[in-house]
Amino acid sequence: MIKLSKKQIECLQLLLEEKAIAIGSPKVNSRTMYALYTRKLIRCPRYANGEFWEITDLGLESIS
């Protein structure tokens, strides 16, 4: 089990509720999101309308 901070858990829960958050959004801290990204808890796919943070299966397992 990966040890997560309170802020990281809050970001994962927000992503779970919103499904995707645009990169650069003021809703989340970019450093926190990068830390989650390096642990493969979230991903950042590119779409025609921009880049978005999305939760992964590993991220779902971490908060449930």
Domains with residue ranges and CATH for the chain? 6-63 (1.10.10.10)
CA atoms in the 13 A half-sphere facing the CB of 32: 17
CA atoms in the 13 A half-sphere facing the CB of 40: 4
> In sequence order, what are the beta bridge partners of 50?
47
**What is the pLDDT at residue 12?**
93
**Residues 21/37, Cβ–Cβ less than 8 Å:** no
Could you give the CA distance from residue 64 to residue 50 in angstroms, rounded to a whole number?
Answer: 29
**What is the pLDDT at residue 16?**
92
**What is the pLDDT at residue 1?**
65
pLDDT, tens digit, for every residue of 20-47?
A: 999 988 999 999 999 999 999 999 999 8
**What is the pLDDT at residue 40?**
94
> Helices (DSSP H) in 1-64: which residue ranges?
6-18, 30-38, 57-63
